[in-house]
Amino acid sequence: MGDFWGPDLISDLPQSIIESILVRLPIRDAVRTSIFSSKWRYKWNSITKIVVDEKCVPPSNDRTINEKSLLKFVNQLLFLHQGPIHKFQITNSDLQSCPEIDQWILFLSRNDLKELVLELGEGEWFRIPSCLFNCQKLIRLELFRCELEPPLTFKGFMCLKTLILHQVLISPEAIETLISSCPLLESLSLSYFDSLALTIHAPKLRSLYLEGEFRDLCLEDTPLLVDISVAMYMTDDIAEHFEQSSSCNFTRFLGGVPNLERLAGHIYFTKYLSIGNDPGKLPVTYRNLETVELYQVSFEDMKEILVVLRLITSSPNLKELQISGSSNIPTATDAPDLDFWSKECPSDCTLKQLKVVKLTDMCGVPHEMELIKFLLANSPVLETMSIVPCMYVMESQLKMLIELVRFRRASARAEIVFVRD
């Protein structure tokens, strides 16, 4: 049959090219190449990346059937495979914790595993076997809904660069030890941890993503950190605990990151930073900080406003600022302390690079207006300021606009865009 059409086009390409092609196919198609011809029978055997996802087995409505066929598929796949496996990913919601997965991890740990992504279905969380901690070549570890317990003799992953733990059950000491024992760690992401008090020692860390209820956050040894994104939930008992503490959270968290380029804080982040004693003028200047996003800033809390102010005034090269408020509709009985602004703002503060400002959920609270006034007066190259008022405020919008129009602008090119729904 081959002679009829002409010479074989593809089977004689070097194995590196064949591998490069097979790796780009879904695993099922890659394995099916074994029946193309006799030369192709074992070409798929040495692929180094295995991604098991929703498309691997023919779907049916019954989860247990899917799970069984998936287990059978992966078992046979690993059994027939030869050679190292560098990347292994399971992203399948039908698969839940079962003993076969332990065996797969044992098999992988003997085969030079470098990247592991484990995202199983909802249900009982999978308990990671201790053989995972023998994968000394691991570069990337991503776990969803697992239980992790490093053995006492565990010295760390020497090559690990990316660690992503999402809903993982691990003791606080273990997580701190794990982070500090990975000397090359560059990217850390921890989501949905409950009441964790975390101190991070990671000298090579560049990117940090945190989401959950954190009781305490301290970046002790992260000089290279460039990108921070924190979404901080707070429960009542954590809030209570905060009232008593006196150490300044701002310096504890942001004191040691001079190279910061991007900061994003969600939910109660600003509140968290505001707790503790006022640092006064910050010792650190964030020369590289270009983008700041702070959500749910309460403009009725003086301390939170102070945090925002300190941050802005310590970032001379800030280019983009995004703040979203979460205040209540102003009532006449509030008597805001507007002297605060003239007291706390340094007189020579000019935001020489600030080009884009976006303010959302603005209620027209006096301090919000003061902030806008401050920004307009100190941003000589401002190009766009967009203000999105809070939905529920109707009459105040007119009041806001009237005030806005009066403010002096340092930038002749500034456009104020007032977005109405």
- Span of 54-62, 141-149, 190-198, 402-410 interacting with other proteins by CB under 8 A: 54-62
Count of CB atoms within 10 A of residue 63's CB? 14
DSSP 137-148: T--EEEEEEEE-
Residue closer to other proteins (CB basis): 34 or 245: 34
Q: What's the min distance (Å) between Cβ of 87 and other proteins?
A: 16
d(CA 198, CA 376) in angstroms, rounded, equals: 38
DSSP 380-414: TT--EEEEEE-TT-SHHHHHHHHHHHHS--S-TT-
Residue closer to other proteins (CB basis): 69 or 89: 69
Note whether 11 binds other proteins by CB under 8 A. yes
**366-377 helix and 302-313 helix, angle to the nearest 10 degrees:** 10
The separation between CA 288 and the C-alpha centre of its own chain, rounded to angstroms, equals 20
Q: Are the CB atoms for 153 and 126 separated by under 8 Å? A: no
d(CA 295, CA 280) in angstroms, rounded, equals: 23
What one-letter code names the amino acid at 300? E
Q: What's the min distance (Å) between Cβ of 34 and other proteins?
A: 6
Residue closer to other proteins (CB basis): 58 or 151: 58
- Ramachandran area for residue 221 (φ above 0: left; ψ -120 to 50: alpha; else beta): beta
Note whether 2 binds other proteins by CB under 8 A. yes
Number of amino acids touching other proteins (CB under 8 A): 41
Residue closer to other proteins (CB basis): 41 or 352: 41
Evaluate the CA torsion angle 345, 349, 350, 353 in order and state its sign.
Answer: negative
Residue closer to other proteins (CB basis): 41 or 155: 41
The separation between CA 190 and the C-alpha centre of its own chain, rounded to angstroms, equals 8
Residue closer to other proteins (CB basis): 96 or 249: 96
Cα–Cα distance list, 117 to 110, 204, 244, 333, 404 (Å): 17, 22, 40, 55, 51
d(CA 45, CA 34) in angstroms, rounded, equals: 9
Relative to beta strand 356-362, strand 140-147 is unpaired
Note whether 58 binds other proteins by CB under 8 A. yes
Residue closer to other proteins (CB basis): 62 or 194: 62
Q: What's the min distance (Å) between Cβ of 94 and other proteins?
A: 15
Note whether 346 binds other proteins by CB under 8 A. no
Q: What's the min distance (Å) between Cβ of 147 and other proteins?
A: 28
Q: What's the min distance (Å) between Cβ of 383 and other proteins?
A: 22
Please identify which residue in 26, 203, 283, 346 interacts with other proteins, judged by CB under 8 A: 26
Note whether 34 binds other proteins by CB under 8 A. yes
- Span of 22-30, 100-108, 319-327, 366-374 interacting with other proteins by CB under 8 A: 22-30
- Tokens describing residue 362: 């603005």
Note whether 65 binds other proteins by CB under 8 A. yes
Residues forming a β-bridge with 50? 88
Note whether 239 binds other proteins by CB under 8 A. no
Binding to other proteins (CB under 8 A) within 137-196 occurs at none
Within a 13 Å sphere around the CA of 21, how many CA atoms are in the beta-carbon half?
13
Note whether 13 binds other proteins by CB under 8 A. yes
Note whether 257 binds other proteins by CB under 8 A. no
Query: Phi first, then psi: what are they for 396, rounded to 5°?
Result: -65, -20
Note whether 107 binds other proteins by CB under 8 A. no
Count of CB atoms within 10 A of residue 234's CB? 17
Please identify which residue in 41, 281, 399, 413 interacts with other proteins, judged by CB under 8 A: 41
DSSP 40-72: GTTGGGG-SEEEE-TTSS---S-HHHHHHHHHH
- Span of 8-16, 217-225, 267-275, 363-371 interacting with other proteins by CB under 8 A: 8-16
Residue closer to other proteins (CB basis): 67 or 216: 67
Please identify which residue in 47, 50, 70, 77 interacts with other proteins, judged by CB under 8 A: 77
Query: Phi first, then psi: what are they for 318, rounded to 5°?
Result: -65, 130
Q: Which residues bind other proteins (CB under 8 A)?
A: 1-2, 5-11, 13-14, 16-17, 20-22, 24-26, 28-29, 31-41, 58, 60, 62, 65, 68, 73, 76-77, 80
